[in-house]
Amino acid sequence: MNAYIPLILFTVLTNAAAQLMLKRGMSGLGGLDIAADGVIGTVFRVVFNPFVFAGLCTFVISMASHLVVLSKVQISYAYPFLSLAYVVVAAYAYVVFHEDLGPARLAGIGFIVIGTIFIAQS
């Protein structure tokens, strides 16, 4: 199973990248006003934002690689690695978006990393 860790980590990184692109895109849109733009207008405005569109495409890549992983390894082994995406997103959000990363979140991130190491060793 350890032979698939690079592909699993690719899945994690593309998942995290997709989340970050979606955040960037949605932050750039400002407030959404469905009443003024209508449902279809709002959907087009969101989906065709370059960052949102790139994030959605990256999610497709992430899902495709995850499907390959699921065809090769046990889900109880592969799925917990996806929690590492939270670690990547939290670190990036702290540095780039200046989001809070207090002691409780840092402790949670530490537990995630330790838990993932235990799973990888199993």
pLDDT in tens, 69-117: 999 999 998 999 999 999 999 999 999 989 999 999 999 999 999 999 9
Q: Is the pLDDT of residue 16 over 80?
A: yes
Burial 72-105 (b: 16+ CB within 10 A, else e): ebeeebbebbbbbbbbbbbebbeeeeeeeeeeee
Q: Give the tens place of pLDDT for each residue, 42-67.
A: 888 899 999 999 999 999 999 999 99
Q: Read off the pLDDT of each residue in 4-28 and give the average, rounded to a whole number.
A: 94
pLDDT at 1 over 70: no
